[in-house]
């Protein structure tokens, strides 16, 4: 399984996402994949999983099947996401 965080830089929530990623790494020892939704890869990812709101945290199976999705602020708890890492 993998978890992807879709977030744009220079937004009012960018600091919240940065702090969340730092805390997630500190508490779990795992890094989450970060994707900018404005890059070509990010645009196709967002279209594939119908993501319109940012920040969004997406949990995917190894086959790419959407398992869980959290949209907007507040971000999910670290324990909710750590199950999928």
CATH topology of domain 2-82: Glutaredoxin (3.40.30)
The percentage of the chain sitting over the pLDDT mark of 90, rounded to a whole number, equals 100
User: What is the Cα–Cα distance from 80 to 84, expressed in whole angstroms?
Assistant: 8
Pairing of strands 2-6, 56-60: antiparallel
Sequence spans of domains, the chain: 2-82
SS3 20: helix
pLDDT confidence bin for 72, thresholds 50/70/90:
very high
pLDDT at residue 49, rounded to an integer: 96
Residue position matching structure tokens 């920040």: 55
Q: How confident is residue 36, by pLDDT bands cut at 50, 70 and 90?
A: very high
Of 27, 21, 33, 28, which is closest to residue 59 (Cα–Cα)?
Answer: 33
Q: Which of 20, 30, 33 is nearest to 75 (CA)?
A: 20
pLDDT of residue 59: 98
């Amino acid at each position: 399984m993998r978890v992807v965080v879709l977030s744009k830089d220079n937004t009012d929530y960018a600091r919240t996402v940065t702090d969340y990623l730092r805390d997630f790494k500190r508490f779990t020892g795992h890094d989450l994949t970060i994707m900018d939704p404005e890059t070509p890869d990010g645009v196709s990812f967002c279209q594939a999983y119908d993501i319109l709101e940012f920040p969004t945290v997406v949990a995917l199976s190894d086959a790419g099947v959407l398992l869980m999705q959290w949209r907007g602020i507040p971000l999910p708890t670290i324990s909710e996401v750590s199950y999928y890492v």
